[in-house]
Structure formats: structure tokens, C-alpha cells
Structure 1
């Protein structure tokens, strides 16, 4: 879902640093317009602000700077803004340390990212056993202090033998990660950082002496952004050698006989003790791609005898190896997923055996391999359960933590060496934990996540309902609010949707959201079509030419919330992020009368021009291409920018973006803001909230995330009449 890529030219950070304030202006600064008209399949498409795509232009930079100051001036006048910022930050701190991405390796070695309460950024820590002392391996805050720019850990992978760590770090929210190796015992770096290793596709050879990683090319000056993710190469580096001696192992430029496409981004999978390696390709957006296999022993030769065993048509979405057996999740003939396996010695999909059938209910979302069992994550509505599959268990498996409410998720075991699994927990009303599952089915808290419920947190009520959409199809909607809320239509309400890539909202407890809920706010999550709520068919029902279902489902959910008296059009807001920009933008442009305010958060807002950007070209597989007549028509229909109509009373809109966004170029927000500011007849504000040291939200510091959340809450409450403006 909009994977990491290189950012377009970065504007001067100081120009957009938090705190830039100008006098509140009655009107936003007008956008320079250099209109262009394109013709696609006989259809003329006007683009009045094409020039804003040139973010490096001094004229465009000046306009973005003026827009940033205009937005900050508006936000600074909301009378609850400072109070809300303090409350959101306080809730984040008071809930304790945050821990994520726990990885278990043999020898009781534990690695995870941890952000202590009050800290700015996640650190990478390790310990040996739950009773072992924590040791910080990588601290991005030290890099931030040295450079003045926020840094973040993008990925990490320790070697099987525990001697070496591979990790990626990027700056300013750019996700433009450099790969670094570390000697774990001494904590000292091994060699120089390797640039342009943006994806987490790093894997250790079975002997832990070599690392495979995918590196994008260094593009020449003037190369179009669309070249960024083309012709990438997987290299194999021997630990201790400089990157200049890394061996090209796989990629479109490495072996032309494989007939790889330029957009085939490769990764290599190894398994401890395994005699084979698997190469996998994706376009970085959808998981389906090609699979190849070769013996590990062939690394000693001059040429790798890769043999293709599948293509994208085989609908394989997950790959894992144990020994010399390859396990695959596929939705071929099983829209809700199944798992198959085959020996790599003579790998052929035609001879693969089914090891987990398509579930009778729910969606087989993920799977994992333990030491002597296979586990799946079975998604049921807004919750997920970890199921164990062994002889004698039901078709859908056996719930390994049946007494645990809400969701359970597998904790990482990449070596497949653990006899007893660990699970993470999540629910709408309880803080997450990491539980060890004992042989008898009982669980114990590992203590890795020690989050606490904030003092004074309100008791919450949750309803999960099915809302009929425009065509009668029923859409899952979760509604959260404090207990005892009176449904009189006056409650500030946020409808949140996404609807792309098969991504599904799942129950989770967010302490920061209490700042909204304790003021009588309502939060509603809609798993509209385009999500994976009911498997691949639900995803495809909000995909390319069926994309209108995504925002029409959202409109139906908004109407239901109003009909049920949670809100009224005067207190109804809508929020969409990234690909959810299509959800929010088209809901607002199709039914502006339903909403008082909207938040377009790093949104895809110009779908027609998207494929001309670095990351947009990788998303053709999800949204379509203008080169195809039917897909062009769909792109034009889903493009908020092109659906804005002059003289329409649009709701208030805040467009949130980081200037270093590598996934959705900031010009999406710029062009939509310019068009809305000119077209709207409601007199309600349309402005941008810009951050010069942020990107798509990945890698943002705790302070950046809290500030953004507080501004969104303050803006919405102001527009709902629950807050005012300072003189």
C-alpha cells in the first residue's frame, strides 16, 4: 500500500518547520496556474495546476510556503488547540512504553522496537530471554541530535547466528533508507552505510555469512521520477566486504533470460539449514508476482540457475520456507485464502499439496511456521484469531488462545524454531499485550508490552454493524464512543475509511483517541469495498473500474450514522489517509451536503496523473493506467481533483502532508487545495497543514504524530461548533 520510494525534490526544511505563523488572512494565497489540457482516448481533461507538480520550482516553493503559513495561522487561532495538543501528548506518555515488531530467534534472543514513554522515536533493542537486560542497539534520536533532522528505523533483521545485525535508517520521513551492518557483540558498525536500500527485503544466507538486499539504481540528473523503482537489483554481500564488491544476484539487469519486467522488484528468501533459495518479485504494491528457485550451492558458481515456478496469475501473496519445503498462501480457487506446500527439490505448483484449506468462515490473512506446527491468522470481522493446524484439528484450525478477547496475532519467528508460539493482542477497549501460549493452551503475559490505561480514561462502548450500501451490499462499520453517549445528532463524529490493497481495519486501542472520545466524540471505522474484509472478492469490488463502491460505501455509512442520530450534517466529519484519499475526497465531492468538515491526509487526490510519479507507477496494478480506455475512465472518476465543481458548497477541508512524502507526492494535496479554494462557495476554510521534516507518516516522531492528531481534532471540533477562534 504505497510502499517506500524516493522522494521528489525536498523543499527547504526551515521554510515549513512547525511554528511558522503569519497574520491570519481572509483568503488563502492564490495558486499560480499554468493550465494544461490532455486528451485521453478522445476525452479532453483540463489540469489548471499542472505546474504545481514541479515542487522544485521557486514559484511552487513560494506558494507552498505561503500555504503552510496560512494553514498555521488558521490552526493557531483555534482556542482549544494548545489544550488538545497537551492532552494528546499526555495520553501518549501516560499509556507507557510502546513496543512493536517483536522478533524471536534461537537462543532466546529477542529483538524489538521500543519507544519509552516520553521519548521521540523508536529504538532497536535486544535481550536474551525475558529476564535478560535490555540493550539498545540503534538509537535514531542520537542521529537526530547530530543532524537536527528526525531519523527512523525502517527495518531490521539479525543474522541466524546472532552475530550481525542488518538495519535500515532514513531521515525526515523520507523512507529513503540506507542499509547498515553492525557487529552485535561490540555494537560497532561493519563497513559504510549502503544507500538506496529502501525496502525491507533483506535476508541472511543459511550460514549467516552473506546478506541479500534490494537496491534501487542511482539515477542520473534529469531522469523522470517514474524510473525510480525500475530495474532494481538484488545484491549478495559477504559480511566484512565493501558494498562495491557485492555480487548482483537477481533482477531485470542481471539475467535477461528470466524475462523479468522492469518493475519486477526482487527479494531472496533463505532458510536456516535450507539447501535452496527462492527469489520473489512484486511491483512493491501488490504481493502477487513471480517465484524462482535455485540451489544455495550455486552461489559458488558464476551463474545462478534460477528456475521459475510461478507467475502473478497464480495469485500467491505470502511465501515461507522451512528446510527444503516451500509454503505458499494463495487465493487461486479460494478467495479467502489457503496454504499449499511443495518440496523445493522438484518444485512445481501442479504437484503442491494443500496443507490448510480455505476457511469455512473468515479470511486466512497470514500464516506462520513454528517448530512443529503451522499457524494461520483467521480474520473474522474486525478481529483476528491465531489458529493452530495439526492432524485432528477442525478445518479452520484450533484457536490457540481462546480465552483472550479481541484479536491475537503471531509474533515473528523467522527461523521457525519456537515450539510454543507467542501472540500479540489487540481490541477496541484493551491495551495490547504479548502473551506466551503454553502447551496446555493457557497464556501468560511476557511483560514485553507494559502499556497502562491512562488515568481517567472513559469506559467505551463499541458496536459492530453491517450497513446497507447503495446497491444493497452490507458494509462492516465499527462505532466507538464513551459509555452512555446520548444519540441526539449533536455528537462530533469522525468516519474513517481506506478501501485499497485489501487492507482491513482491525480492532485496536489508541490512547490518543481518548482526547476525542472524552469530549463526546464518535469514531466510526468502515471496511468499505477495496478492503479485504471478506477476502479477495471484497478487495476486487473496490478496485480499478469498481472503485466507486469504495466512496459510495463510505457515503452510505455517513448517512447511516446520521440516521441513527450519532451525528448530523453539522457534526459529521470524514477522514482518509493515503489511498484513503480517494475514499474521503470522492465522498466529499459526491455528497458534500453530508459533511461539515473533512481531513485529506497525505491523500491520493489526482489519480489521473499518479502514474507519472515514482510510486504511482507501482500502483497501476491497484488503480489502473490511463493507457487503457476503461481504466482511464475509472481513474478520472476516482480523481478528486478532477471531480471538484465550481460554485459547490463544499465542507471545510484540511489537507495534511509531509513535504518529503515518498509514497504520495505532496502535489496531490497542493493541486486539490488550489482547486477547492477557488471552487468552493460555502465560505468554509480550505487549507494545508504541511510539515517540512515529515513524509507519509512513517518514521514521524512522537511529537510530530501527537501534534498532527491534535490539529485534526481541533480543526474538526471547531467546524462542528464545539470550539471557537481566538481574537
Structure 2
């Protein structure tokens, strides 16, 4: 290992003295083949050794990769200027508010001011009351940087649970802050997920405990337990409410994560057994069972019912159902005597339902058709549907301040419109100005153009594509194009404003947001068309989008950048292994690159999305979508930068690490393949300093390799 690090140092010095680049300046990763057989198919893995993150040689490898990439990026002109632009744009927003929660007339909110890296928690009494600081996470301890993961006020507004995590991680600690005494209670609960709830009497909280605070521990969220904590007692005494061990009759799998909460009327306990499956598994019990030795849980909704969301209003169970529909519909049945199979259809299928929420008397429904949204309210008492016309143009989303009034909040946004909010009263059907809406003006927005089109996919299916560029743009194939995609879990790439995108657009870069199968842009069928055995449609739609952009002069192969984040690592990984000639550069940001072994990582609950290697059909599909397994020696791959977070429990760092190692050993193009290793980050982070650096690094590398004049080595 000493020799490896010495070679790295010498190679880096050679690189720094020579503006030309050769992959030979980075020592080749060693191969140590391991062969697995999946139902007769042999798969050789040369880089299994990189999975042992406790091994010092492995630690040194990641450290060396990160150090080398840092040296490289520091040399590229334009990187520091890009960071400065992101900082400048951030300061143009006078104040940024997160989701606002209201209890007993008191508003609680996370607020971030220009120049602040993370948000602070505040409250105010009424809309016009003064803002009072509750918690600044940066002053919590001197040895760690914390950020607020989530917060939840008690029903009387006198206390608030604060969930906090450090280093961009997602393994949290809960503290309870008392408003009257302006101090934390002694209770300190960890390690936990963000699921949490208050008991109606405010004497205790419900949370989901993890098995470890180590994101590398493959069992840290297996067989997790929902627990009740009485304020002022030791965490060791907390009662188990819902788990695979305490309720074996419910057949809870090891990857189902229980989250327990009360219905708004306090009459029932609801247990949500979460996985990545869109179809919910919900159990229910009387609220009076909370402190009994045994809780009488029973199934309310099973996955075969194909219910994506539920709300309870005035004793009625409202279900966002996907069964028998592609765009979804709303069903209603009694919560006391539920009959899911014969539930009444109260909102028939129409535009695709994006989400539902509830206030006192109304179900709040957001629908969309890829590029625009539609708002409706359903009044439970009268069963009337009201179409809501928001006065703010853009993609709208419904939120409820609290369940005891009909006061709501409508958030509007689009590709070229920063977030804008307005209050809405569902009963009065009136809009009023929100004190949490702080407009911002950004440079260049008036000079931008958006095209919403559909392009032919590889099989003739029409695939949506959103394209943005500056006015006066010439379709001569000479522009750098940044093309991004995701296509998993049924998530839709709905229009949204992003200052990082604006920074690229204002540098003359064409921005293309793809909508491949695997998302829900065209409903449930669109999702299922990029799912498990049909997953190839996801990266093939991405490839088709790139081909269209090149054919029609938006860019060329020497100027096209492809990007995928998280599950989008499958998309970008298979796109460049199937069509390496199509891209100048690729970014795999905390990307799933070795999906064949994904179920063996700490984030093992993805079997419902991608499949399992223990099933012959699904194993074959996993082999096909596994980017690592499709890296071939002697292939001219594009330049690649992969990003991994050392605090990332979702996509463990060896997923992008093994992919980088394979590409470094296999690419014959002479183009760089590097890995950015973040030790102060996880899957993402709220810390703006870290975020701006992280994205500026990725963009700088790709813009350099795609020929942008502002990012060329001298």
C-alpha cells in the first residue's frame, strides 16, 4: 500500500506538470476475481475486495482516489467561478422557508438565510407574530456539524421533536425542545429514522429505532422496531409497538420499516410498513391499545390492494388506489368497518394523481400530466369535487398546515420560476398572501426558452423530453448539452426550479431533462414499463433522447454530458456501457452501479423495485441492468466522474467505487475516469458549502471533457 500511495503522488506530480491527460497517471486498481453463479449464469466480479470498507487497503484506495480527483479538479479553470456563481444565486433568495407546520395557532418552520449553510428552526405565534429562534444546529456541538432532518410540534404547540443528523448522514438523533423553558428536555433518542409522532396527550413520542449508527452495517435497518417513549424515562424502557418480532402473525418482512402514528381524531393507531413498493401495507389498532401489553394490530391495507396513499377524515378512509387504473382514483370506506374491495369510487380516474393530503373537511388532490398540474378538493361530507384554479402559474402542490382547520398552502414552481406560495382556505375557496412566500429574482430567466416535446423511443413509444436553452441558440451541434435522467420508483421528473441548472443555462449549456420509463410521468403503466424485467427501457429511453438531441442539432456526441443520480446510476451506467460513443462525459452521482449486489447493502429494501438474485427471472433482469457487469476491456468509454459519500446509507460507497475501478482498467479512450469521495456528505446534505462544491466539481469535470471553453486546461 505504501508503494501504491507513493506511485499516486508521483503520478499526480506528473499530471500537474502536464496539461494533457492519460488514465495511466492513476495507478490501475488490482483485480481479484470472484465468480458467482446465478441459475446457470456465471458472473465474474474482479472488485469484490473493494466492498470491505473496514480493510485498511480499501480505505487507502478510496482516500487515494478522492485525493487524486481533488487535485485534478483544482486545476480546471472555471470551477471556482462556478462555485462563486452558486453562492451568488443563493444570496439572491432573501430567506428560504421549508415546510411550515402549525399546531394550536403556532407556526413552526425551518428557515435558511443567505450565507447560512444549513437551516435553523423557528416558531411564530400567528402569521404576524415575531419569529423566535428555537434551534441552530451549527451551535449544538463543537465537534460535529449537524443539520435538521425533520421536526414535529406537539398538538398543543408547546414542544417540538427535532431530528438531527451529522455529516450529511440519515441516521438521526431525536431531542425534544420545550418552548416555555427554552431548553431541551433530558430525553435523547438514537439511532433513529425520521419517522416520528406525538401521542395526543403530549406525554410521549413514537419513533422507529435502527439497529446501528453505522451506515456500513448491513443490518442497521433490518427488522427495525417502532417504539413508544414516555418523556422523562430511559430509552431502554421504551415499549415495542410494531415489529416483525412482536407481531409475527402479520408476516412483516425484515426490510419492511414500521412507522406508527395516530389518526387525526386520536381514535386509531396506524402502522405503515414501508418499503420502496408503491403499494402500501397498513395495519390498524385502537388507540387505547398503546400502553397495553399486546396491541391488537390487524391488516387495513395489504399490498395486493394497490393503495399508494391513505388519509382519514371524519371517520372515512380515503384511499389513493392504483388497482385497475394507470392514473389512479380515490376510494372511500368507513375506517371503523373498512371494506377495501367494495370501497366507493368518489374521484374517478382522470388526469394522473400525483399526491393527496388532508385538512379538516377536505381531501387535497394534486394531479399532473408531466408539464402542468391540476388541483382539486374533495369534501367528505357532501362528496363534492371542487376544481381549484391557483392564481400562481406553475406546477402546483397542495399542503395542509394542520388537520384541525381547512387552511392549506399551495406551492407553485416551474423550470424557470422559483418557488412561490400562497394560502388557500378549502372551505371558503379563497386565496390570501402567505407570510412565508419570499420572492427572488435571478439573472437570465427572461432570456431562456423551454421546449416540452415527445421523441420516439427505441421501440416507437413516444417519450417526453424537456429542453431548455438561451434565446438565440443555434441548432448547429456545437453546444454543450447536459442531459439528466432518473426513471425509477415511479418518481416523475416534474418541472422544478434549480439554481444549479440556471448556472449551466447562463453559461450557454443546453439542459435536457429526460422522462424515461420507470417514472410515472404517464401513469402506472409508464412506471411498470421500466421495472425489473422491463428496466432496459429506462436507459434505452435515455439513449433515444440523446440521439434525438444530436440528430436535431442541439448538441453532438463530443459535447453531450449524461447524468444520473442514485437509482439513476443504473440509467447512466448502462447508457454508457451500451452506447459509449454517444457521450463526451458521464456523471454517476451516488449512483447504483452494481445492482446485482444491491440487496446485500445496508439499503436492502429495494428488492420490490429491482428484484432479487434468488429468483431466476429477476436474477436475469438484475444481470442485464448491472452496469459493472457490462464494462468490457478495450472499449472507448467517455470521461466519467462518479461520486460516493462515506456517510451514505442508501447507495454505499463501493457501488460507484467498483464501477470506477472497472472503467479505469478497461477504457481504451484515454479519457479520465475519476471518483469524487465525500467524507463530509452522505446521499445528499443540506450543508450548502458542501453541496455547491460537490455539484461544481461534477459539472466542472464534465464541462471540461465536453469542450466548454470556460473549463479548458491551459
TM-score, length basis structure 2? 0.93
> Could you tell me which of 118, 129, 141 is aligned with 2:115?
118
> Could you tell me which of 701, 705, 711 is aligned with 2:691?
705
State the SS of the aligned residue for 1:588.
Answer: helix
Task: Return the offset for 1:678.
Answer: 1.2
* Residue 472 (1) aligns with residue 469 (2): no
Q: Report if aligned partners of 1:477, 1:527 keep a CA contact under 8 Å in 2.
A: yes
1: CA distance between counterparts of 2:100 and 2:499? 21
Q: CA offsets, 1:147-192, max 9 Å, x none?
A: 1x43221121111111221121111112111122121222311223
Q: Aligned residue for 1:205?
A: 199
Q: Aligned residue for 1:572?
A: 560
Q: Report if aligned partners of 1:434, 1:447 keep a CA contact under 8 Å in 2.
A: no
> Could you tell me which of 307, 314, 320 is aligned with 1:329?
320
Shift in alpha-carbon separation, 1:59–1:45, aligned structure 2, 3 A:
same
* Residue 530 (1) aligns with residue 527 (2): no
* Residue 665 (1) aligns with residue 662 (2): no
Task: Return the offset for 1:576.
Answer: 0.4
Q: Which structure's relative contact order is higher, taking Cα pairs within 8 Å and 6+ residues apart? A: 1
> Could you tell me which of 272, 286, 293 is aligned with 1:302?
293
Q: Aligned residue for 1:139?
A: 136
> Could you tell me which of 203, 209, 225 is aligned with 1:233?
225
Task: Return the offset for 1:458.
Answer: 5.2
Q: Aligned residue for 2:624?
A: 637
Q: CA offsets, 1:573-611, max 9 Å, x none?
A: 110000000111111111111110110100000011111
Structure 1 ranges of 4+ moved more than 6 A: 391-395
Q: Aligned residue for 1:3?
A: none
Unmatched runs of 5 consecutive residues or more in structure 2: 6-10, 16-21
Q: Aligned residue for 1:601?
A: 589
Q: Report if aligned partners of 2:596, 2:622 keep a CA contact under 8 Å in 1.
A: yes
TM-score, length basis structure 1? 0.91
Q: Aligned residue for 1:5?
A: none
Of the structure 1 ranges 435-444 and 641-650, higher mean CA displacement relative to structure 2 is found in: 435-444
Aligned residue runs from structure 1 range 216-227, under 5 A: 216-218=210-212, 225-227=217-219
Q: CA offsets, 1:451-487, max 9 Å, x none?
A: 4112455521101111110011111111111222122
Q: Aligned residue for 2:99?
A: 101
Task: Return the offset for 1:132.
Answer: 1.3
2: CA distance between counterparts of 1:328 and 1:251? 24
Q: Report if aligned partners of 1:458, 1:483 keep a CA contact under 8 Å in 2.
A: no
2: CA distance between counterparts of 1:48 and 1:308? 45
Aligned residue runs from structure 1 range 422-461, under 5 A: 422-437=409-424, 441=429, 443-455=431-443, 457=445, 459-461=447-449
> Could you tell me which of 206, 210, 214 is aligned with 2:208?
214
Unmatched runs of 5 consecutive residues or more in structure 1: 1-14, 16-20
State the SS of the aligned residue for 1:45.
Answer: strand
2: CA distance between counterparts of 1:450 and 1:416? 25
2: CA distance between counterparts of 1:351 and 1:161? 38
2: CA distance between counterparts of 1:88 and 1:498? 23
* Residue 368 (1) aligns with residue 357 (2): yes
2: CA distance between counterparts of 1:433 and 1:426? 6
Task: Return the offset for 1:263.
Answer: 2.3
* Residue 158 (1) aligns with residue 148 (2): no
Task: Return the offset for 1:44.
Answer: 0.9
> Could you tell me which of 68, 75, 84 is aligned with 1:86?
84
Shift in alpha-carbon separation, 1:406–1:458, aligned structure 2, 3 A:
closer
Aligned residue runs from structure 1 range 367-406, under 5 A: 367-390=356-379, 397-406=385-394
Name the Cα RMSD after superposition.
2.3
2: CA distance between counterparts of 1:580 and 1:224? 21
Q: Aligned residue for 2:549?
A: 561
Task: Return the offset for 1:326.
Answer: 2.5
Q: Report if aligned partners of 1:409, 1:423 keep a CA contact under 8 Å in 2.
A: yes
1: CA distance between counterparts of 2:173 and 2:629? 37
Q: Aligned residue for 1:494?
A: 482
Q: CA offsets, 1:414-446, max 9 Å, x none?
A: x42232422111111211111012567553431
2: CA distance between counterparts of 1:33 and 1:412? 54
Q: Report if aligned partners of 1:478, 1:524 keep a CA contact under 8 Å in 2.
A: yes
Of the structure 1 ranges 311-320 and 462-471, higher mean CA displacement relative to structure 2 is found in: 311-320
Shift in alpha-carbon separation, 1:134–1:385, aligned structure 2, 3 A:
farther
1: CA distance between counterparts of 2:646 and 2:673? 18
Q: CA offsets, 1:662-713, max 9 Å, x none?
A: 100111111111110111111111101111110101x341011111222222
Shift in alpha-carbon separation, 1:24–1:706, aligned structure 2, 3 A:
farther
Q: Aligned residue for 1:259?
A: 251
Q: Report if aligned partners of 1:458, 1:518 keep a CA contact under 8 Å in 2.
A: no
Q: Report if aligned partners of 1:293, 1:344 keep a CA contact under 8 Å in 2.
A: no
Q: Report if aligned partners of 1:659, 1:666 keep a CA contact under 8 Å in 2.
A: yes
> Could you tell me which of 43, 46, 60 is aligned with 1:45?
43
1: CA distance between counterparts of 2:380 and 2:131? 39
> Could you tell me which of 182, 191, 197 is aligned with 1:196?
191
Shift in alpha-carbon separation, 1:375–1:53, aligned structure 2, 3 A:
same
Shift in alpha-carbon separation, 1:583–1:364, aligned structure 2, 3 A:
same
State the SS of the aligned residue for 1:68.
Answer: helix
Q: Report if aligned partners of 2:273, 2:281 keep a CA contact under 8 Å in 1.
A: yes
Task: Return the offset for 1:300.
Answer: 4.3
